Copies of this chain bind each other. A is one copy, B any other.
């Protein structure tokens, strides 16, 4: 889900801006995104579904902010891949040691 959500450049740009600038309204995000407001809303919906942003309603505007903790699974995944690699390396090392005897 995370990878798919962050795969789109426009959507990633929106998320990055929220990380950089903090809370932003849909209108502000739209002016920077270079696409129509409905398109921005759609992207925000996807980001929200992935847990990457949260929204807060204030009158007729909606403020969105990045939810950085949602990136944790991504960090875990990369660590896991690295772990697999290291484990294989250890096995190779063991094998070489046994061959050395």
Contact = CB atoms under 8 A, between A and B. Distances in A.
Interface of A: 3-4, 6-7, 12, 15-16, 19-22, 66, 68, 71, 74-75, 78, 81-82, 84-85, 88
Contacts of A74: 74, 78
List of 8 A-B pairs having minimum Cβ-Cβ separation, nearest first: A7-B7, A19-B84, A4-B7, A3-B7, A19-B81, A3-B6, A20-B84, A68-B85
User: How many copies of the polypeptide does the oligomer hold?
Assistant: 2
Contact of A78 (B21, B66, B75, B88): B75
Contacts of A21: 88
A82 B4 CA distance: 20
Given A3-B7, A6-B7, A15-B81, 5 more contacts: A3-B3, A3-B6, A16-B84, A66-B81, A66-B85
A96 B68 CA distance: 22
